[in-house]
């Protein structure tokens, strides 16, 4: 079978054609990152306009690269939840039109489920496994028991780590340096941190009093912003200037983020051990934009090693938003055909801007001690 996947939940317009043997036949992606970095954040109507402008080109390009016609497709998969309402609508309306035009069924896709299952496209990872999604919109730990069966162990109570990276990078004025101009906030911090000492600035431990798997990043971010202010004043840095010891600062901030991620992962692994959830092979899948950070990866893989688990990451280009993961999720869902929506039933599918992943068992962890 052949599935076309379409992704427009946030700021990337993506499309791809994937077959049931996990071959990516054609893909295309238009990223809006540079526009939004320039504007200082995602402005929803602008994101929508860029999706509208690019979606037709992106989908056609993916189909052309795959040398596939609409008639040859088995289904059209599209992200309908969760995400920015205006962005989601562009992809869903486009996919519905394609579906009507071609008579091919639609498969509505949960963006986070797609992120969680992408790894099965490139690697042999069997159910159940633990997934750790660390991105610009989310931070969550979930047990994946099947294509549509997720247990949510923990999630962020405030912002996402990607967001914290982006805001701190902006406060550090990193993009005033030409070499960081086109990078995301997180990538520029990782780059700047390479020459730095991660112990130069202490970052407070987060939520150590709570024995659950939930996250908080606003405290770390706030601490970072205060620290930058203090250092800038101390060193007499000009309004658009950059701290001379920016490398040390970035390394320390990155280490602070890693520590809170590591503690929560440890907690989740202990919980799974206690419950006998991951007996066969212990695999932790790390994905999301922040998963491309090598320092974070290395740290988390050391945590996994302590629990005889192995850390697996999809290739970086599949860790961030793309059409391939949506098409692949469509392929996996197609095998249990109950997710298909026929062309005469398209009105029943709508966007769901807020849609938590799986069954929430975050409280159970607290009680398990």
Binding test (CB under 6 A) with ligand ATP, winner from 24, 50, 116, 290: 290
Binding test (CB under 5 A) with Fe ion, winner from 7, 163, 321, 332: 321
Place of tokens 């997720």: 150
Q: Which is nearer to Fe ion, 321 or 332 (CB)?
A: 321
**Which tokens hold the place of 57?**
């080109």
**Binding residue count for Fe ion, defined by CB under 5 A:** 1
Q: Which is nearer to ligand ATP, 172 or 290 (CB)?
A: 290
Q: Does 212 bind Fe ion (CB under 5 A)?
A: no
Q: Does 86 bind ligand ATP (CB under 6 A)?
A: no
Q: How far is the CB of 139 from ligand ATP (least distance, A)?
A: 8
Q: Which of residues 116-155 bind ligand ATP (CB under 6 A)?
A: 135-138
Q: How far is the CB of 208 from ligand ATP (least distance, A)?
A: 23
Q: Which is nearer to ligand ATP, 190 or 248 (CB)?
A: 190
Q: Which of residues 157-216 bind ligand ATP (CB under 6 A)?
A: 162-163, 165-166, 184-187, 190
What residue 290 binds from Fe ion, ligand ATP, none (CB within 5 to 8 A, per partner kind)? ligand ATP
Q: Which is nearer to ligand ATP, 74 or 87 (CB)?
A: 87
What residue 258 binds from ligand ATP, Fe ion, none (CB within 5 to 8 A, per partner kind)? none
CB 43 within 8 A of CB 35: no
Q: Which is nearer to ligand ATP, 162 or 196 (CB)?
A: 162
Q: Does 5 bind ligand ATP (CB under 6 A)?
A: no
Q: How far is the CB of 24 from ligand ATP (least distance, A)?
A: 18
Q: Is 160 exposed, middle or buried (0-12, 13-18, 19+ CB in 10 A)?
A: buried
Q: Which is nearer to ligand ATP, 202 or 316 (CB)?
A: 316
Q: Does 292 bind ligand ATP (CB under 6 A)?
A: yes
Q: Which is nearer to ligand ATP, 191 or 346 (CB)?
A: 191
Q: What is the 3-state secondary structure (H, E, C) of 293-345?
A: CHHHHHHHHHHHHHCCCEEECCCHHHHCCCHHHHHHHHHHHHCCHHHCECHHH
User: Could you list the residues that contact ligand ATP (CB under 6 A)?
Assistant: 10, 135-138, 162-163, 165-166, 184-187, 190, 288-290, 292-293, 320-321
User: Could you list the residues that contact Fe ion (CB under 5 A)?
Assistant: 321
């Amino acid at each position: 079978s052949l599935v076309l996947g379409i992704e427009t939940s946030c700021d990337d317009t993506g499309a791809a054609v994937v077959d049931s043997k996990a071959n990516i036949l054609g893909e295309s992606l238009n990223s809006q990152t540079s526009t939004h970095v320039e504007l200082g954040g995602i402005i929803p109507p602008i994101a929508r306009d860029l999706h509208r402008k690019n979606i037709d080109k992106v989908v056609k390009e993916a189909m052309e690269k795959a040398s596939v016609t609409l008639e040859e497709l088995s289904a059209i998969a599209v992200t309908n939840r969760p995400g920015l309402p205006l962005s989601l609508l562009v992809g869903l309306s486009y996919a519905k039109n394609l579906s009507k035009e071609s008579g091919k069924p639609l498969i509505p896709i949960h963006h986070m489920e797609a992120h969680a299952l992408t790894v099965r496209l490139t690697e042999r990872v069997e159910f159940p496994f633990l997934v750790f999604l660390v991105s610009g919109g989310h931070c969550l730990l979930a047990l994946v028991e099947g294509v549509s069966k997720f247990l949510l162990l923990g999630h962020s109570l405030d912002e996402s780590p990607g967001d914290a990276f982006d805001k701190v990078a902006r406060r550090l004025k990193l993009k005033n340096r030409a070499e960081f101009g086109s990078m995301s906030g997180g990538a520029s911090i990782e780059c700047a941190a390479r020459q730095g000492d991660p112990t130069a600035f202490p970052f407070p431990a987060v939520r150590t009093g709570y024995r659950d798997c939930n996250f908080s990043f606003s405290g770390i971010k706030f601490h970072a912003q205060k620290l930058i202010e203090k250092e800038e004043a101390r060193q007499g840095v000009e309004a658009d200037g950059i701290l001379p010891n920016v490398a040390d600062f970035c390394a320390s901030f990155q280490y602070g983020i890693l520590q809170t991620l590591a503690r929560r992962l440890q907690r989740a692994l202990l919980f799974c051990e206690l419950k006998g959830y991951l007996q066969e092979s212990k695999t932790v899948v790390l994905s999301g934009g922040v998963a491309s950070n090598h320092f974070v990866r290395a740290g988390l893989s050391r945590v996994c090693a302590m629990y005889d688990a192995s850390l697996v990451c999809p290739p970086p280009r599949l860790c961030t938003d793309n059409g391939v993961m949506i098409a692949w999720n469509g392929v996996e869902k197609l095998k249990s055909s109950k997710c298909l929506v026929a062309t005469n039933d398209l009105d029943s599918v709508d966007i769901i801007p807020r849609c938590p992943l799986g069954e929430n068992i975050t409280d159970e962890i607290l009680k398990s001690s």
